Structure formats: structure tokens, C-alpha cells
Amino acid sequence: MVNCLNKNYYVCTGCALLCDDIEVEVSGDHITKIKTVCRKGFSRIGGCIEPMPCTSDGKSVDITTAIKDAASILMNADNPLIFGLGNSTSGAQKQAIELAKRIGAVIDDSSSFCQGPIIEAILHEKIHTCTLDDVRNRADVIVYWGADPSNSHPRHLSMHSYFPRGEERQHGWEDDRTAIAIDVRRSHTAKICGNRFYQIPLHTDAFLIEALIDALSGKVPKVPFEYDIKKILELANVLKKAQFGVIFAGLGVVYSIGDMGTMTRLMDKLNEVSNFHLIPMMGHYNMRGFNQNLFEATGYFNRVKFEKRENGFDVKHGVDYSIMEVLNTKKTDAALIIGSDPMSCLPRSTAEYLSEIPLVSIGPCENFTSRVAKVTIPSALSGVECGGSAVRMDGVKVTFEPMIKTARLSDEEILKRIMEAI
């Protein structure tokens, strides 16, 4: 919470922008007015209409019983899975990592099937990155590649990347900034970019990257699909002339190119001839926090298994410990899901296995996963009902205070109590 001009500003946990200029009016333990937020944040802070019940085996129980039953499920499992945590504070994530060590669990998050490759490249310093504050103050060429922040991160353009009059961009979007969209469809963000929209066929991003590398190297670019080569040369020229360029990489380009090898080569080339940075369009508010916390604890940013040994544990990592593979191969025999809904966000045929094993679901709201869980534990909605810290999509740590009080425990407190019960 920031106090400025005698006003208290809160942080929105609706997405990984972690907007820190939110005003609320509170009456008792209820929020009566929310100002500044986007539609998505308004809905997050306003709360859900189906709060998570506290249950065990389908019956309402008190929190102590639910925690005891959750601990029992995890203790009796040979290959437990811990998944989620993108919507949890860094404190809760660290607690979950300790729990995974204690019970010898696989621990993974949704970066496993979205922005993982970019985060890996950034954490290993293979890709030049910057903060959103740098973008706001300095960026003159902004590329939204396979990303549509107008829908996914609604205040991205207004607060950071395009419309603000930053320190070195006082003439704003009208004169000082060039926004470019590269996508397979004219998204809402692409519409804002006007004639700087480069529409490409499905899954051809890697070809465009190669063509841009050629153009930036003074060669004639080629692509194996019908495209006006002059447009590629024109795009390369704009990128080359950037004083401070940034690529916001969305899932469109991540899924299309698979690994980051080609993008890394483009970034290297861009930084030979210009000055370019890349920021991943992380979705959940603290997905990056999970990746960084796990990286600090193990050297790996997701897909980790703590294999118990007589004196401690071995850390294993790889695709075999991704949520997709542990569910597809039915290797896991119990799961703890925190602030996530894999029944909704994974392929249905993969997620259905969760309904065959003892499952514990922790979160502020009921979801498709909690409805098949053996134990459900309600938690405080972070940023609204409990404070903590998180890592913004650009790697900046943000701390926040609760807006209102609640009797519900935070994810961190619940995980701590599960640890104590084991």
C-alpha cells in the first residue's frame, strides 16, 4: 500500500502488471467502491459469487479437520504433485517448495505450458530484458508479438508501454513511440498499432524471425509463404533505428517457435545493430515469482521433483516432471492444487485423471478442480484479503497490503499448517 497525497493506493492482483495505483472505499469488511482498475481487476477485487467451501469427502468440516485430512493425503502418497501457485504470494510459494521437499513431491506451475521458455532464457541471462518503468520512460519502438494486452493485460498500453509520456518520451504515442503488432489476426492491440500491423500465417513466426535476422544483416529476406518482402525490410528498418526497443512476447509467438533459440538469435542481432529488450507477457500475477523462487531454491524454474533419500533429497528436473507428463503417465497418486484450476486450463483428457486420485484444492473460489477434490480449503484472496509480495512480469518485486480483513487463512498460513500436521 502506497500513501500519496493522503490517499492509500493498493495493488491489483488481477494480472502480472500488478497495478499499484488502485483506490478502494471500504465499509466494515466490505469493499464498496473500486477505482482505477481495469474490467478484469474490478472483477478480481470484487470477488467471486461461489467462494471455496471447507470440505472433506464432500462434507462441510472445520479448517483444522480439512488441514489434517489434506496432510494425511499428502503423507500417504508415494508420488504427490503440487501445482499452481501463480496466484499466490511469494511467501506461500516458498512454503510450498519446503512442503514439496518434505513430502518428495513434483512441483510445477502453469509456466510449464506457457511462458516457461522465455523465463528460462531470462533467468539464464540469454536474453536482454528491462523493466516496465524503463519502457514507460524510454521505449520508442514497442513490439507486441503474438500478444494482445488490450485483452490479457488491459492497462499495459496506458500505464506502461504506449500512451504514457515517459521521462524521455514527453511527446507520447503521437510522436515519440512506434507500436508494432505481429500476429495471426487483427487483435484489439493490433488495431491500435494501425498500419504497423504485420499479419502472418499460423505458426510462421520462426520464418519471420529468420527473415528479420537476414534483413538486419543486410541480406535479402525470404519467407516460405506469400508476403510482401518490402514490409519485412520496412519492419527491420524500424527495429534497427530504435533508440530503446522492446518486444512483448505473448503466447502466440511462444507456442509458435517452441524453443527460444531463434528468438535469442534475433535478440542478439537486434542488439548488434540497435538496443532491444524482451519482456514475457506473464499471465498470473505471481507466475514469475514462482519461477524465481524455485530457481533460487533449486536452479530450476519449474518441472522439479524432490526425490527423497535417506539423508535429504535429490532435485530432478525435466519434461517428465511437467504437470502434463505426470498426469498423462498417471505417475502421480495425490495432488495439492493451490490457486489454480487445471481441470479448466489443461486438455480435458489429461486433467480428468485428477478426478481419479485424492486431491486437495486450496483457493478463494470454487472451480472445476475443487469440485472433484477430496478436500477443499478456502483461502484469503491475495491483494484483497491478505498481503505479501509478488514479482511483476518484468521481474520487479512488488509488496502489497490487504484491502479488507477476513477470517480466512492465507495460502501461506494454510501450507504452514499442513507442514506442521505432517
> Which residues are near another protein by CB under 8 A?
14, 38-40, 42-44, 46, 48-50, 112-114, 116, 148, 150-152, 154, 184-187, 199, 202-203, 251-252, 255-256, 258, 303, 319, 322-325, 328, 341, 343-351, 365-368, 371
CB of 287 to another protein, least distance (A): 15
CB nearer to another protein: pick between 154 and 358: 154
**CB of 231 vs another protein, minimal distance in Å:** 14
Give the nearer residue to another protein in terms of CB position, either 114 or 359. Answer: 114
Grid coordinates belonging to 241: 533505428
Minimum distance from residue 221 beta carbon to another protein (Å): 21
115 or 293: CB nearest another protein = 115
Closer residue to another protein in complex, CB, 173/197: 197
Rounded to whole angstroms, how far apart are CA atoms 82 and 185? 36
Pairing of strands 388-391, 397-400: antiparallel
**Contact (CB, 8 A) for 342 and 363:** no
Give the H or E element holding residue 96.
Answer: helix 90-103
User: Min. distance of Cβ 348 from another protein in angstroms?
Assistant: 5
Report the alpha-carbon distance of residue 20 to residue 34 in Å, rounded: 13
Shortest distance (Å) from residue 278 CB to another protein: 19
**For another protein, the closer CB: 37 or 216:** 37
Residue 166 beta carbon to another protein: minimum distance, rounded to whole angstroms: 25
Amino acid at 170: Q
User: Is the backbone of residue 84 left (phi > 0), alpha (psi -120 to 50) or beta?
Assistant: left
Q: For the chain, how are helix, strand and coil distributed in percent, rounded to 5?
A: 40, 25, 35
Q: How far is the CB of 62 from another protein (least distance, A)?
A: 25
What does each C-alpha distance from 171 to 164, 222, 277 come to in angstroms? 9, 36, 22
Nearer to another protein, 275 or 328 (CB): 328
Q: Would you say 172 and 137 are in contact if contact means Cβ atoms under 8 Å apart?
A: no
* Cross-sheet strand order for the sheet of 106-108: 59-60, 55-56, 375-378, 359-363, 334-338, 80-84, 106-108, 304-309, 312-317
Query: Looking at beta carbons only, is 171 or 348 nearer to another protein?
Result: 348
